[in-house]
Structure 1
Amino acid sequence: MDGGYKQVIRVRWLRRGLRFLGWRPDSTTHQEKLISALGTTLALILLYWVTHLVMAAEGALWVTGSMGASAVLVFAMPHGTLSQPWSVIGGHVLSAAFGVACIQWLPAGFWLAALAVGGSVIIMMYARCLHPPGSATAMIVVLGGPQIAEAGYNFVLYPILLDVLVIVLFAVLFNSLFTSRRYPLPLTRHPVGRAPGIAPEDFEHALKQMNAYMDIDFNDLLRLVELANTNAQSKGVSAGDLVAGGYYSNGLPGRNWSVREVLQVVSRPGRAGRVRYRIIKGAGEGGNGICRVSEFVRWARYQVAPDEQGRQWHRVTDDSKASVEP
């Protein structure tokens, strides 16, 4: 076994390990990342100031912690279902109210904070406002000290309700400044057509079978499939499209997907042309081969190009625009 093949094996296992841990390629631009960070920063500065108007410094710091987590969701994932106004407002307010009920009606103990978090999860799921930072608010109520305990249910109104309203209103204003964002989702909606062969009822059935919480709006899911199907039906690769140094994908899902780099295209008058290639991504990675041009064209679905880091592949279209390779 030569050193090059060993290196390929190590890289392959490293990628599998990262994927198992949940690492995924990121298709967002640098601008989008900076916008998310700016929105979060400005929102927290505003929240810190508002909270200090109604609470002493120590109590305000406790509250700002869970609100900071909400700001990350609202400004970094404004299209997610966990980030929508009802999730933010209902999640924090109901969880805070449950936390206050725990400290007022149950004896103190090491288990009380855990009960507050677990109970808040049930309440939020049934109220359809699941918001992870809300459970942090329930824990803050239990562990936040005498100032929060003495405030009782007034703490739910000031500063919890006040803070979440500030986050939501600021998120609506801030995200409206950018055409790529919409918050909340109903403000702007892409027209959703019917994906070929797939109806909304099919998605409903599939989601029920999966029995898992999906952090994506239903209409966005339909739109995603519609765009993917439209892209899949566009023109494929022809013999004239093959160039040395070009990358081509078979467009298959899952483990069958692969990318080949064309090393050489040999044209032979009166005889079938040949293509020499190597497999640089996906199934058969590290291998190489030679085949007829006609055979390669049947295999290739479209031409692709890597991103700047070489981690993600994008489809190359006629108008030089790229869409993300699944």
Structure 2
Amino acid sequence: MFARIAKHLKIDFGNVSHTERLVSTAGGALVIFCVIVITRASLGPAGTLLIIPSMGASAVLLFAVPHGALSQPWNVFGGHIISALVGVTCAIAIPNEIIAASLAVGLAIGAMHYLRCIHPPGGATALAAVIGGDITHALGYQFVITPVLLNVLVMLGVAIAFNYLFPWRRYPEWLGEKPQPAAGNTRSVSQRTIEHADLVYALSQMDTIIPVSEHDLLQIYELATGQVSQRQLQPGQVKQGHYYSNGAFGPDWCIRQIVDTSPSKDTNRDRVVYKVVAGAEPRSSAMLTRTEFARWASYEVIRDDENWKRVDADKPSG
């Protein structure tokens, strides 16, 4: 019975360790301590109640979900600052507090959307600028600088320094990015089927909260692999005189041109001769079956001035 209720309520019994939970707890406590101290120094005790709610919400994202898209620096910085600007403007321009508050939150959401910095606590910052009372209204646009900007900088500084202390946590997210493996080693792996148990294991090894459900992750994987299979070059698309790329990066990138063919209904005898015109092993040549070449190639390319341009799969390449 409880399991059924938990399923409907989307209660996540994930594999996040106790260590990770304690680290999140400590980080959130530390950053709010710093924010309160700085806010009290700039606005006095009464001003503390004004901004702490939205910063507390940001602390949850920064320390409980540091790898989440909504927790990244531009989202935090832009989300709060832009929302504060919108909120102050609405408070000044619109006499009716109810309308001003409603528009402040709505316009802040729209602005964050267009500026690619969605950060949910920003909505609370916009709202605080309108309903914060006389202290906030007296500040005017100074509210954007003190306390909002000051608090945001403290939040980001503490988040970067604190999360860096723990090897499995990296903030901003790009600090934890790993170089892509060579293209030649990825295709066979991508063709394997990922099962639910594999996904659960991978999530447990990451030991962090990922704001995407297992179902959504599996769906993303299925859509991505489906896209790969759709764009997979077919042997019949390999034509004499055309150029093809393996789609790799760095030193493994390569462009080959088909210089000759030996057509045959037997796939083992249907061969092509290619030469390397750019990238790895320049000016070399070899012979492969058409099927082997199609397996190597990711897509067809054409020469565009000094660059190689991918040919649109939906358009004839001529």
**Given the two structures, how large is their TM-score scaled by the length of structure 2?**
0.57
Distance (Å, rounded) in 1 between the aligned partners of 2:19 and 2:125: 31
Structure 1 residue 87 displacement after superposition: 0.6
Stretches (4+) displaced over 6 A: none
Q: Give the aligned residue type for 2:10.
A: G
Work out whether residues 47 and 163 of structure 1, in 8 Å CA contact, stay in contact via their aligned partners in 2.
yes
Work out whether residues 75 and 117 of structure 2, in 8 Å CA contact, stay in contact via their aligned partners in 1.
yes
What secondary structure, in the 3-state scheme, does the structure 2 residue paired with 1:36 have? helix
Alignment CA distance shift 1:109-1:159 (3 Å): closer
Q: Give the aligned residue type for 2:127.
A: M
Write the mapping of 1:217-232 to structure 2, written as runs, cut at 5 A: none
Alignment CA distance shift 1:22-1:111 (3 Å): farther
Report percent identity of matched pairs. 42
- Of 159, 164, 174, which residue of structure 2 is paired with 1:176? 164
Distance (Å, rounded) in 2 between the aligned partners of 1:183 and 1:153: 30
Work out whether residues 113 and 139 of structure 1, in 8 Å CA contact, stay in contact via their aligned partners in 2.
yes
- Of 90, 93, 105, which residue of structure 2 is paired with 1:105? 93
1:52-75 CA-partner distances (Å, limit 9, x unpaired)? 111021122221111011011101
Structure 1 residue 197 displacement after superposition: 4.1
Q: Give the aligned residue type for 1:54.
A: S
1:270-322 CA-partner distances (Å, limit 9, x unpaired)? xxxxxxxxxxxxxxxxxxxxxxxxxxxxxxxxxxxxxxxxxxxxxxxxxxxxx
5+ residue gaps, structure 2: 193-209, 226-318
Question: Which residue number corresponds to residue 302 of structure 2?
Answer: none
Q: Give the aligned residue type for 1:149.
A: H
Distance (Å, rounded) in 1 between the aligned partners of 2:49 and 2:135: 12
Question: Which residue number corresponds to residue 309 of structure 1?
Answer: none
Work out whether residues 59 and 144 of structure 1, in 8 Å CA contact, stay in contact via their aligned partners in 2.
no
Work out whether residues 83 and 108 of structure 2, in 8 Å CA contact, stay in contact via their aligned partners in 1.
yes
Structure 1 residue 225 displacement after superposition: 5.9
- Of 17, 40, 44, which residue of structure 2 is paired with 1:56? 44
- Of 110, 115, 130, which residue of structure 2 is paired with 1:127? 115
Write the mapping of 1:64-83 to structure 2, written as runs, cut at 5 A: 64-83=52-71
Structure 1 residue 119 displacement after superposition: 1.4
5+ residue gaps, structure 1: 1-10, 199-213, 230-326
Write the mapping of 1:206-245 to structure 2, written as runs, cut at 5 A: none
Structure 1 residue 148 displacement after superposition: 0.8
Q: Give the aligned residue type for 1:196.
A: S
Output the aligned Cα RMSD. Answer: 2.4
**Given the two structures, how large is their TM-score scaled by the length of structure 1?**
0.56
Q: Give the aligned residue type for 1:105.
A: A
Q: Give the aligned residue type for 1:106.
A: I
Distance (Å, rounded) in 1 between the aligned partners of 2:29 and 2:78: 23
- Of 15, 23, 26, which residue of structure 2 is paired with 1:38? 26
Are 1:25 and 2:13 matched, yes or no? Answer: yes
Q: Give the aligned residue type for 2:4.
A: R
Distance (Å, rounded) in 2 between the aligned partners of 1:89 and 1:126: 15
Question: Which residue number corresponds to residue 290 of structure 1?
Answer: none
Question: Which residue number corresponds to residue 291 of structure 1?
Answer: none
Are 1:118 and 2:106 matched, yes or no? Answer: yes
What secondary structure, in the 3-state scheme, does the structure 2 residue paired with 1:53 have? helix
Work out whether residues 28 and 59 of structure 2, in 8 Å CA contact, stay in contact via their aligned partners in 1.
yes
Question: Which residue number corresponds to residue 73 of structure 2?
Answer: 85
1:176-205 CA-partner distances (Å, limit 9, x unpaired)? 00001000011221234446149xxxxxxx
Question: Which residue number corresponds to residue 196 of structure 1?
Answer: 190
What secondary structure, in the 3-state scheme, does the structure 2 residue paired with 1:27 have? coil
State the aligned residue count. Answer: 195
Question: Which residue number corresponds to residue 124 of structure 2?
Answer: 136
Q: Give the aligned residue type for 2:41.
A: L
Structure 1 residue 97 displacement after superposition: 0.4
Q: Give the aligned residue type for 1:96.
A: A
Write the mapping of 1:281-300 to structure 2, written as runs, cut at 5 A: none
Structure 1 residue 79 displacement after superposition: 0.3
Distance (Å, rounded) in 1 between the aligned partners of 2:109 and 2:82: 10
Of the structure 1 ranges 57-66 and 84-93, higher mean CA displacement relative to structure 2 is found in 57-66
Work out whether residues 91 and 101 of structure 2, in 8 Å CA contact, stay in contact via their aligned partners in 1.
no
Distance (Å, rounded) in 1 between the aligned partners of 2:34 and 2:61: 17
Distance (Å, rounded) in 1 between the aligned partners of 2:114 and 2:211: 16
